Amino acid sequence: MGLSRSDVASDLAAAAARLRGARRVLALTGAGVSAESGVPTFRGQDGLWRRFRAEDLATPQAFARDPKLVWEWYAWRREVIAPLRPNAAHVALAALEQRLPDFLLATQNVDGLHAVAGSRRLLELHGSLWRLRCVACGHAAEDRRMPLPELPPRCACGTVLRPDVVWFGEMLPAAAVEQAVAAAQEAEVVLVIGTSSLVYPAAALPEMARAAGAFVVEINTETTPLTASADVSLRGPAAEITPALLAGAS
Cis peptide before 201 (omega within 30 of 0): yes
In this structure, are residues 205 and 28 in contact, taking their beta carbons and an 8 Å threshold?
Answer: yes
Helix 204-211 / helix 174-186 crossing angle, nearest 10 deg: 30
In this structure, are residues 172 and 166 in contact, taking their beta carbons and an 8 Å threshold?
Answer: yes
Q: Which residues contact 7 (CB under 8 A, 6 or more apart)?
A: none
> What is the distance between the alpha carbons of residues 217 and 229, in angstroms, rounded to a whole number?
10
Could you tell me how far CA 185 lies from the centroid of its own chain? 19
> What is the distance between the alpha carbons of residues 93 and 167, in angstroms, rounded to a whole number?
27
In this structure, are residues 106 and 123 in contact, taking their beta carbons and an 8 Å threshold?
Answer: yes
Helix 238-249 / helix 5-20 crossing angle, nearest 10 deg: 50
Q: Give yes or no: 114 in active site.
A: no
Single out the residue of 118, 58, 120, 122 nearest to residue 92, CA to CA.
118
Q: Catalytic site residues? A: 126
